[in-house]
């Protein structure tokens, strides 16, 4: 049995998938394409967790050491941190991995001013780990998995004025940034290196190979605001020249290429139209 909520979501995906083809006459070939796309859509969403709450999209539980040390696992929210800092700052300068659980942050690292401790040092933000376990209340704000901890930031209040979008956090982060509702810090003294100004690359379209679907408009300008250049080059997109790297929707679904971010943190794959936005005549 499909639960009603899931069925509702499925219906929306269906609608979205067919809308990729809207505006074109249904020739035999495009009926076939529609069928292929619907199948593809189902396979894209099969791996997606359509029931993740907007406040929990991008939330990472870190538990390499906590439980072993008798502490509650740590909960890290992207929605709050990405509203204050660039992805680049954490994922390049502060060396956080883009795979959950991969970084292996220790309490000592944090006390030495690395990782969370780069900011959570009692100066830029409240302090992180300590050898002193006498007042665990101070620890609960991070070591919070499954606990009801009173926090300063509540998702619904914090994001109330942000422009909305479907899926993921239900927030149009792109608009929020261009409207100045989020102001991203990209540099932390003593940690970040001065970087040279880079020349911006013009937007370009990516034509999906072998399928009659809308083209994708890729904007360097929109991405660089969050990611600088170094989050994507050379690790995620090594090719340099556009069109050099070959990948498909299935690779993206498997968290590669665009899927590194657009499955877990940036708006997810269900939002077909936001990528496939250029109508093919």
Binders in 79-98 for ligand HEC, by CB under 6 A: 80-82, 84-85, 87, 89-91, 94, 96-98
Vertex 71, ends 69 and 75: CA angle to 5°? Answer: 125
What x-and-dash track marks residues 211-250 binding ligand HEC by CB under 6 A?
x-x--x-x-x-xxx-xxxx-xxx--xx-xxxxxxx-xxxx
Q: Which of 8, 23, 101, 234 contacts ligand HEC by CB under 6 A?
A: 101
Q: Supply the minimum distance, in Å, between the C-beta of residue 193 and ligand HEC.
A: 15
Q: Which of 24, 208, 256, 280 contacts ligand HEC by CB under 6 A?
A: 208
Q: Which is nearer to ligand HEC, 1 or 126 (CB)?
A: 126
Q: Which of 9, 21, 40, 182 contacts ligand HEC by CB under 6 A?
A: 40
**Alpha carbon of 241 to those of 73, 137, 207: distances in Å?**
42, 52, 15
Q: Which of 92, 155, 174, 182 contacts ligand HEC by CB under 6 A?
A: 174
Q: Supply the minimum distance, in Å, between the C-beta of residue 186 and ligand HEC.
A: 10
Q: Supply the minimum distance, in Å, between the C-beta of residue 31 and ligand HEC.
A: 14
Ordered DSSP codes for 146-204: TS----S--HHHHTTTSPB-SSTTSB-HHHHHHTTSS--B---TTTSPP----PPPPPE
Q: Which of 102, 112, 203, 235 contacts ligand HEC by CB under 6 A?
A: 102
Residue 253 makes contact with ligand HEC by CB under 6 A: no
Pairing of strands 74-77, 216-218: unpaired
Residue 43 makes contact with ligand HEC by CB under 6 A: no
Q: For residue 222, count other CB atoms closer than 10 A to its CB.
A: 15
Residue 274 makes contact with ligand HEC by CB under 6 A: yes
**Alpha carbon of 115 to those of 18, 93, 138: distances in Å?**
44, 10, 18
According to CB under 6 A, which residues from 46 to 65 bind ligand HEC?
A: 60, 62-65
**Alpha carbon of 107 to those of 120, 151, 234: distances in Å?**
12, 21, 31
Q: Which residues on adjacent β-strands are paired with residue 76?
A: 60
Which window, 3-11, 23-31, 49-57, 115-123, contacts ligand HEC (CB under 6 A)?
115-123
What is the C-alpha radius of gyration for the chain, rounded to an integer number of angstroms? 21
Q: Which is nearer to ligand HEC, 152 or 281 (CB)?
A: 152
Q: Which is nearer to ligand HEC, 50 or 73 (CB)?
A: 73
Residue 93 per-residue DSSP state: I
Pairing of strands 59-62, 204-206: unpaired
Residue 262 makes contact with ligand HEC by CB under 6 A: yes
Chain centre to alpha carbon of residue 246:
22
Residue 151 makes contact with ligand HEC by CB under 6 A: yes
């Amino acid at each position: 049995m499909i639960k009603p909520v899931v069925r509702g979501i499925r219906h929306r995906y269906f609608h979205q998938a067919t809308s990729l083809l809207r505006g074109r006459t249904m020739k035999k070939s495009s009926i076939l394409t529609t069928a292929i796309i619907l199948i593809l859509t189902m396979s894209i969403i099969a791996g997606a967790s359509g029931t993740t709450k907007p406040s929990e999209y991008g939330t990472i539980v870190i538990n390499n050491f906590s439980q072993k040390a008798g502490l509650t696992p740590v909960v890290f929210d992207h929605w709050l941190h990405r509203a204050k800092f660039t992805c680049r700052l954490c994922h390049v300068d502060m060396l956080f991995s883009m795979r959950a659980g991969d970084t292996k942050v220790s309490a000592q690292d944090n006390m030495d001013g690395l990782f969370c401790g780069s900011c959570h040092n009692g100066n830029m933000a409240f302090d992180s780990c300590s050898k002193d376990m006498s007042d665990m209340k101070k620890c609960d704000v991070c070591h919070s998995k499954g606990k009801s901890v009173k926090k300063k930031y509540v998702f619904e209040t914090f994001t109330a004025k942000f422009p909305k979008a479907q899926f993921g956090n239900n927030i149009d982060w792109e608009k929020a940034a261009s409207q100045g509702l989020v102001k991203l810090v990209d540099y932390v003294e003593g940690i970040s290196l001065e970087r040279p100004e880079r020349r911006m690359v013009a937007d370009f379209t990516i034509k999906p190979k072998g399928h009659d679907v809308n083209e994708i408009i890729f904007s360097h300008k929109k991405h660089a605001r969050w990611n600088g250049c170094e989050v994507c080059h050379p690790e995620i997109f090594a090719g340099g020249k556009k069109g050099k790297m070959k990948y498909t929707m299935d690779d993206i679904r498997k968290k590669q290429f665009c899927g590194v971010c657009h499955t877990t943190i940036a708006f997810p794959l269900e939002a077909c139209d936001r990528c496939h936005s250029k109508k093919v005549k």
